[in-house]
Amino acid sequence: MKRLVLAYSGGLDTSYCLVKLAKENHEVHAISINTGGFDTATIAEQKQRALDMGAHSYECVDSVETFYNDIIKYLIFGNVLRNNTYPLSVSAERIVQAIALIDYAKKINADGIVHGSTGAGNDQVRFDAIFQILAPNIAIITPIRDEKISRQEEIEYLQSQGVHMSWEKAQYSINKGLWGTSVGGKETLTSHQALPNEAYPSQLENNEPIDISISFKKGEAIGLNGQQNPPIKVIEALQALASKFAIGRDIHVGDTIVGIKGRVGFEAAAPLILIKAHHLLEKHTMSKWQQFQKEQMSNFYGMQLHEGNYLDPVMRDIEAFLESSQNRVSGTVFIKLYPYRFELLGIESENDLMKSQFGAYGEMNKSWTADDAKGFIKVSATAQKIYQSIKVKND
């Protein structure tokens, strides 16, 4: 018998791991790391299900604040969307979950940590790498990866053990958190099929457009529709509001850490609205070179986070830069929500660089003369004039 800590979500993969290892007489401690999406009823249901399937104990560790403070905040600062599409809903969570699992495993002197990753996905890399770095003496156990078992085989095994689940729902792998919900199924294994409407957790409830506003202070969302709250509460309230419009659905296609292409569906109304609203506010309040340099560093930050390299010290360096860049990113962004989409209307900020005494774009300058403009244009064109004159001679 070994004392094992299982990263337990209550889904098909982790249920298989729990039943399989419990049947092998291991002491399995099922641990759920709450990075958003777990309410009291869900936790109670998960606990009962885990104990019924043979868990020695069950515990839900609340890591929502850690998730926001250590990761989400910087994803908003950086306007991070992988391949200009995906807000890193799952990959961002895995880092926090892996570290919390290690802390718990050390606390109970566990012999091993179990996760339900397959051998063809990104999570195995994220989990294993952090486990090896922070807990090199604790074994890593991955039944599904090692047995190369399919989802249908998992279902058949659990049925043979008398485990009753919603097997139709089990056809889709759903991961819900503060920063969005991922949805994987047979359709995402193809290159052409879309997920059915019913696969998404939120359905269209509101058909009439509404206007909303989001307030930011130094890059962090601190208010929704004039009501101030901590950023986590703003994210939750915005998600509850916008999900009724079925906003934020898409399918991300990208390169996995293991080198193959992959597709995953997701629903992330609040993350997408917040990132786009924040980006608009930045365009009004930051210099063009701040924006340019931040885009380069943010893209790199998102890529490294996605690939599980969160513990590299360069990530702390970039976070310091991102934090500094937000000093003047304060104000309110106005947005209209429609069924399945949203529109950014504008911003209001004391730091708005459009409110300038120097001039109004395309209308009137107040700080230079016509001769100044002509001289500036002439000097600016000099380098290209030189190049073109040499090119003509050579041609």
Query: What's 199's DSSP letter?
Result: G
What integer pLDDT is reported at residue 279 of this predicted model? Answer: 98
Single-letter amino acid, residue 305:
L
What integer pLDDT is reported at residue 167 of this predicted model? Answer: 62
* CATH superfamily of the 3-173 domain: HUPs (3.40.50.620)
Query: What's 86's DSSP letter?
Result: B
What integer pLDDT is reported at residue 171 of this predicted model? Answer: 76
Q: What is the pLDDT of residues 299-337, one digit of tens each?
A: 999 999 999 999 999 999 999 999 999 999 999 999 999
What integer pLDDT is reported at residue 168 of this predicted model? Answer: 63
How far lies 103's CA from each of 5, 31, 98, in Å? 11, 11, 9
What integer pLDDT is reported at residue 196 of this predicted model? Answer: 94
What integer pLDDT is reported at residue 165 of this predicted model? Answer: 75
What integer pLDDT is reported at residue 357 of this predicted model? Answer: 73
| In the chain, where the domains are located | 3-173, 177-348, 361-394
Q: Diameter of the chain by CA atoms?
A: 87
* Full-model pTM: 0.92
Give the residue among 132, 125, 146 at the shortest CA–CA distance from 258. 125
Q: Write b or e for each residue in 259-273: b if 16 or more Cβ atoms lie within 10 A of its Cβ, otherwise e.
A: eeebbbbbbbbbbbb
Classify domain 177-348 by CATH number: 3.90.1260.10
Segments of the chain with pLDDT less than 70: 167-170, 359-363
What integer pLDDT is reported at residue 131 of this predicted model? Answer: 96
What integer pLDDT is reported at residue 166 of this predicted model? Answer: 72
What integer pLDDT is reported at residue 134 of this predicted model? Answer: 96
Q: What is the pLDDT of residues 165-207, one digit of tens each?
A: 776 656 788 889 999 999 998 999 999 999 999 999 899 999 9
